[in-house]
A = this chain, B = another copy of it.
Amino acid sequence: MTPPTPSTPGTRLDPWFGAYAMRAHNMRASEVRALFAVVNRPEVVSLAGGMPYLEGLPLESIAASMERLIATHGTTALQYGSGQGHEALREQILEVMKLEGIDAHPDDVVVTTGSQQALDLVTRIFIDPGDVIVAEAPSYVGALGVFRSYQADVVHVPLDEHGLIPEALEETLTSLAAQGRRVKLLYTIPNFHNPAGVTLSLERRPRILEIARRHGVLVVEDNPYGLLGFGSEPLEAMRATDGDGVLYLGSFSKTFAPGFRVGWVVAPHAVREKLVLASESAILCPSNASQMAISTYLETSDWKAQIKAFQVLYRERRDAMVGALAEHMPDASWTVPDGGFYTWVRLPEGLDSKSMLPRAVTGRVAYVPGTAFFADGTGGDHMRLSYCFPTPDRIREGVRRLASVVNAERELVEIFGTTAHLDDVTDTDNPGPDLV
């Protein structure tokens, strides 16, 4: 067997084409990615991204506390740290999770480089090629990308306005068991779902846990938005009632700031040990500077008041979004989220969000096509609209533009019967960090 050489056939453009691992063939840039290169231009209203609105943060005071941190604890903040994460921060994370009824120990927490790294580590330690991960239909594009990169098979289970449907989960797991498939994980976003905007009802939570337990499936509870509800108190996390069967993923990216890249995972003891080893292999240790910056913020700021301010801000934007949808796109339908960043819009009959996207970008508005949120390429009848980053006025303007694009598209459909389709590469191919 001859090893590949730069002169071996493969592609002229990539002399190492023949040398990649199998899993690398599952890593592809999404076809919508090129379009998103332009959505950050000021003339485009982007309803695509999941970037939090940071202008509400007390930047002056964060800046001053960063200075004190480096000046007084610089030799720690700038040094290597623990693979599991900074202990003081892990203790503070317990305080954050208490708001959702989670009672844990600092040893149960592994700090990660954003919760994306937690997804990567969990998939790394559990998934062999061909293993099944069950996820909602639709599901978070960044998770689907990780699952694909480890060659998992994602099987979707429907959700409705109360979240993942227990009966459908039961049926899916029973059917997969009958096929002899190995189901390792149930990946779920119970609160203010990305992209669906729905929340798993409290009544369903114990039922989902019971079904997963009975089928021997570990639940991955991904909860970046749980504290960003617009109504009453935070809902009790699934992890709060099941310490052995749930891996809980949290993040400071939406409730504080994503630029430090700090998330965490809470795991049963033995799993946690594997996660720490996997994380050390991946990055040695998370950034002490980032972790101590967040620890300082939690210690010196009224972070709960900041979260309440974000709730008010995002609620106003959600109202702007659903108000504009009612005014300008009465033939579409959408979810009305009780928190979080996203609404999930069903387009009028016959339209395809993926083929329409280039025309939307030309019309100076961007969204994420529904196809991004399904492992099987379906979802073209939906789109995700995010209201987190643009101001209410920009949101209204964006929806106005979107309505024009939709109306023009309907005329096309009426004349030609269908619209042009982009090729059929699924959009869970990596769309880049703009679409979180």
List A169-220 residues whose CB lies under 8 Å from chain B: 177, 180-184, 213-218
- Segment from A73-81, A301-309, A368-376 that makes contact with B: A73-81
A80 to B36, CA, bound (A): 15
**Would A75 and B63 count as touching, CB distance under 8 A?**
no
A5 in the interface, Cβ–Cβ < 8 Å? yes
A79 to B14, CA, bound (A): 33
> A23 — which chain B residues lie within 8 A by C-beta?
124-125, 128
Total residues of chain A contacting the partner, CB 8 A:
109
List A275-289 residues whose CB lies under 8 Å from chain B: 277-278, 280-289
**Would A78 and B16 count as touching, CB distance under 8 A?**
no
Protomer copies: 2
A60 in the interface, Cβ–Cβ < 8 Å? yes
Q: A3-B217, A71-B60, A289-B260 are in contact. Are A80 and B436 (CB under 8 A)?
A: yes
A416 in the interface, Cβ–Cβ < 8 Å? no
**Would B432 and A259 count as touching, CB distance under 8 A?**
no
Q: A82-B433, A271-B16 are in contact. Are A281 and B59 (CB under 8 A)?
A: no
Least CB separation from A54: chain B residue: B75
Interface set of A (CB-CB < 8 Å, partner B): 1-6, 8, 11, 13-17, 19-24, 27-29, 51-52, 54-55, 57, 59-60, 62-64, 66-71, 74-83, 113-114, 116-117, 120, 124-128, 131, 142, 145-146, 149-150, 177, 180-184, 213-218, 244-245, 253, 257-261, 268-271, 273-274, 277-278, 280-290, 293, 430, 432-434, 436
A120 to B277, CA, bound (A): 13
**Choice from B127, B274, B282 contacting A282 with Cβ under 8 Å:** B282
**Choice from B3, B117, B273 contacting A182 with Cβ under 8 Å:** B3
**Would B20 and A125 count as touching, CB distance under 8 A?**
yes
